[in-house]
A and B are shown apart, each in its own frame.
Chain A
């Protein structure tokens, strides 16, 4: 086992120096010419991807916002239009009832005036009738006075008069 140790573990200062120098050089060269460009490129790419993603997300959010805005506007417009419609309907209803009321009032007025006319006509007719009757009574009394006849005769005259009257 001592032999093994000597063979495999023998110190070798030359090798240490060579490896130390060349590995250090490799480290510096790779850092400058390989890892630097590679890692920076990878970082740039990742940042680009990250940026694009966040931009896409932002755009998506904006689109969503826009859509919801549109929806809201549409709903508002709908509500508005319905309100207008309802208002118009109410207005129409109001106008109709107003008209009906007005008509009813007019009809009532017409009826009232007609009634008044009729009353007046009736009064006129009654007055003229009354006058006629008074005249007729006067005429009948006149005739009785003029004839001055017996009772039978008077009775006959009155009957005749009344018979004439009913004929008129």
Chain B
């Protein structure tokens, strides 16, 4: 498993940093402690607060029992689920299976309760188990895994931070500061600048008169993405936006809002593209329908890929230190460290920039997609006269 993982991240590193010299993967020794970029980027059910023992997060399962009835299982942690809930780790699932024997076991030496249970039940819960797929006790199976994962935890953290700071900010405005007088202090001025930026540079140029209707969503998306991105850059933090599920949900919101705002013109453009020769329409209509979905999917993947890539590159760069140490001895590790750290720092700064840019891009494109859907216009193409009266009609109707 470790060789496989090492090869993955080296491959990744090479893909990401083509300029760096290739490394012979086969030489990686098995004894050296594993360093895995994916562990830090992927989702998991614990908080990595090294050097302390990982802080396990609650597990919540909707299970269907043998007799067909549904139940809700709540556990304080994965360890607890294994020890008290008769859950087992699915060793055959995915890539964990065949490599299992080679991986070294990380003892749960920090968790006192886990040890107690382990002692009483005779089962040892390893970090490997915590990361593994859980199977419900005999006869029942997990219908829905509502567990609080790492990415969910940090998404909630950024939501909580947003709620706390933004309601405080709103309180200032409610007291009249910023309404009847100039905004006061760093806090208010800082956030007002960003809010104004979103309003005046993102929402207004795209949405015009309908800005007020969509601005709350755009602001929420912008600040949530920005906060999540930044939390991922804080030590011990994880990037919720580097999870495709999270970005997918965000894109889904944009998708729903876009479709709900869609005007006659918008749907007309999709299902009966104006100004196009009839024989092109059978090609164009499916493309237009696909376009409805590709836009939000692109939104989700763009944000996910951008936020994941930066972290993988940083972790891969740091990983070079250990790979070199494994392959050519500790000296090589120390030798490559300054270069790796310098590059990682550079990428880290780049990630700061990317965090801002991606929050901007997501919001900007959301505003753009919404504006495309809510537009009511006389298309300026050559077909204007053929459908002119139709769009004129729709304009008068909506006006």
Contact = CB atoms under 8 A, between A and B. Distances in A.
Nearest to A7: B42
B248 A22 contact: no
B147 A14 contact: yes
A31 B220 contact: yes
Interface in A80-114: none
Contact of B151 (A15, A27, A33, A39): A15
B370 to A, nearest CB: 14
B308 interface: yes
B170 A22 contact: no
B327 interface: no
A7 B38 contact: yes
Given A33-B166, A35-B220, A36-B216, 13 more contacts: A2-B95, A3-B8, A16-B248, A17-B146, A19-B155, A20-B252, A22-B156, A22-B159, A23-B224, A23-B250, A23-B253, A33-B167, A35-B170
- Name B's interface SS: helix
Interface residues of B, number: 55
11 contacts: A3-B4, A3-B94, A11-B245, A16-B248, A22-B159, A24-B253, A35-B166, A38-B169, A39-B199, A42-B179, A45-B180
Contacts of A24: 253
Contacts of B215: 35, 39
Contact of A1 (B5, B11, B179, B252): B11
B174 A14 contact: no
B245 A15 contact: yes
Nearest to B42: A7
Interface in B165-211: 166-167, 169-170, 173-174, 178-180, 192, 195-196, 199
A48 interface: yes
Contacts of A41: 173-174, 178-179
Given A3-B4, A22-B156, A26-B162, A33 B244 contact: no
Contacts, number: 136
A152 B103 CA distance: 205
A39 B191 CA distance: 12
Given A19-B249, A26-B159, A42 B167 contact: no
Interface string A31-74: 10111111101101100100000000000000000000000000
A154 B14 CA distance: 184
A42 B173 contact: yes
Interface string B41-55: 111000000000000
A19 B149 CA distance: 11
A30 interface: yes
B163 A6 contact: no
Given A38-B166, A45-B178, A45-B180, A8 B245 contact: no
Contacts of A145: none
A12 interface: yes
A24 B224 CA distance: 12
Interface string B308-334: 100000000000000000000000000
